[in-house]
Amino acid sequence: MSLASTSNPGTLAPPTDPRAAAHELAQEAKQLSHKVTAEVARVVVGAEDVTRQLLIALLAGGHVLLEGVPGVAKTTLSKVFSRLLGCQYQRVQFTPDLLPSDVTGTSIFDRNKNDFVLRKGPIFTQVLLADEINRAPAKTQSALLEAMQEYQVTVDGVSLPLALPFLVLATQNPIEQEGVYRLPEAQLDRFLLRVEMGYPGFKHEVGLLKLYSKPIVEVQPMFTPEMIIGLQRKLPGVYGAESLYEYIVQLAEESRKHPDVALGASPRAALNLLRCARARAVLEGRHFFTHEDVQAVAFGVLGHRLILRPEAEIEGKHVAEIVREILDAVPVLETV
C-alpha cells in the first residue's frame, strides 16, 4: 500500500474543480474557525492556540496527541471540541489493566441465537477520547493502530470499517513516570499532531476562576459528519507552488542529516506537513499555502517523530530546539 493511501479515506475524493472548491473552503473555514474558537472559550479559557491546532487536524483528517500536566483542561477541551463536531463520541480511560478487547470489543455467546455475537467496544465511534493513553501497556495501545491508520478494526479475524470521520484525541502526562508506558514510535507516528498544553497564564487563570463561578454553559454542535467529510475532500485543492513541495522535502531531509537526530522525518511526516500547512492556510482564509504555514505547523508535526541521540538528551537539548535549527538551516527562496 502506498503512503498516499494511508490518509483519511474521507479526503481521497476531491471535487471536480479543486481550485474553486479551495476558494469556497477558505471562506467557510475562516468563519468556522472564529465561531469554534469563541464557543470553546465559553468553557475553556486561554485555549485558542490549541483549539486552532485541533481544527487543523480535523480538516487534515488526522489524530491529535494532547500533552500536558494534570489540571490544564486537556480532557475538558477534548469533550467540548467533540461536542461541537456533532459526531458520535466515546471516552476510554486508559489504565494498566486495560485489555485490547476493552477497546475493540469481543465476541459474546448469545444463547438465543446459539452463536457468537460481536459486542463492539468504544472504538466504534467517530470521536474517541483516549484519556491518559500512556497508562496502558503497549499491547492495549496497539489496539488503536489499525483503527488510526486503516480506519477499520479487526475482531476475531473479521475486519469491520469505522464510520467516517474518525478522530482520536489522546491525552498524556509527560511528567509522571510511575505506572506509565512510553508510546511506541509506530503509534506516535500515527498522530498527525502533538499539541503541548501548558498553563493558561495569569490573566486567563483569573478569567477561569470567574468563569467557573457561574453555571457552566452547554455548547451546541456546529458541524455534522457530512459537513466535516465535505471540508476534508476540498483540502487537496489548496494551491502550493512547486518550490513549497521541494521545501517540505528539504526539511525532511535536513532532519535526517541533523547531528543530534537518530531518526529523522519519514515521507509520511512530509505528507503530514503538507496536509497541515494546507489546513492552516484555509483557516486563515487563504486558498493557497506558504512557507510560513509549513513553518507554523512544523513542531506539531515533527516534534513527536524526531528521535534524538542519547548524547543530545544528556546535554539537555529539547526537540523544539532541533526543529528550529532545521527550519533555520533550510533557506526560503520565495514566498509563493
Return the pLDDT at 11.
44
**Residue 260 φ then ψ, to 5°:** -95, 0
CA distance 285 to 28: 8
- Look at residue 308 and give its three-state secondary structure: strand
CA distance 77 to 92: 15
Q: Are 145 and 6 in contact, with CB atoms under 8 Å apart?
A: no
CA distance 182 to 294: 28
> What pLDDT band is residue 205 in, cutting at 50, 70 and 90?
confident
**Residue 118 φ then ψ, to 5°:** -75, 125
Q: Which of 15, 10, 8, 169 is nearest to 82 (CA)?
A: 169
For residue 307, list its beta bridge partners.
263
CA distance 143 to 105: 10
- The secondary structure element, H or E, covering residue 160 is strand 158-161
- Residues whose CB is less than 8 angstroms from the CB of residue 255 and which lie 6 or more positions away in sequence, other chains included: 261, 264, 265, 302, 306, 322, 326
For residue range 142-196, what is the model confidence (pLDDT) as tens digits? 788 888 888 998 887 788 899 899 999 998 887 766 557 777 777 788 899 999 8
For residue range 106-128, what is the model confidence (pLDDT) as tens digits? 878 777 777 778 888 899 999 99
CA distance 210 to 80: 19
CA distance 258 to 305: 14
- Residues whose CB is less than 8 angstroms from the CB of residue 129 and which lie 6 or more positions away in sequence, other chains included: 75, 78, 79, 82, 89, 90, 91, 92, 169, 170, 171
* Residue that wins the pLDDT comparison between 249 and 95: 249
| Residue 5 clears pLDDT 50, i.e. is over it | no
Q: How does strand 115-120 pair with strand 158-161?
A: unpaired
DSSP 281-304: HHHTT-SB--HHHHHHHHHHHHTT
pTM: 0.86
The whole-number average pLDDT for the span 305-330 is 89
Q: Which of 60, 55, 52 is nearest to 11 (CA)?
A: 60
Q: Of 126-135, 197-206, 323-332, where does mean pLDDT reach its minimum?
A: 197-206
- The secondary structure element, H or E, covering residue 171 is strand 167-172
Return the pLDDT at 177.
61
High-pLDDT (> 90) share of the chain, %:
32
For residue range 38-82, what is the model confidence (pLDDT) as tens digits? 888 888 888 889 999 999 999 999 999 998 888 888 888 888 898
Looking at the chain, how many residues does it have? 336
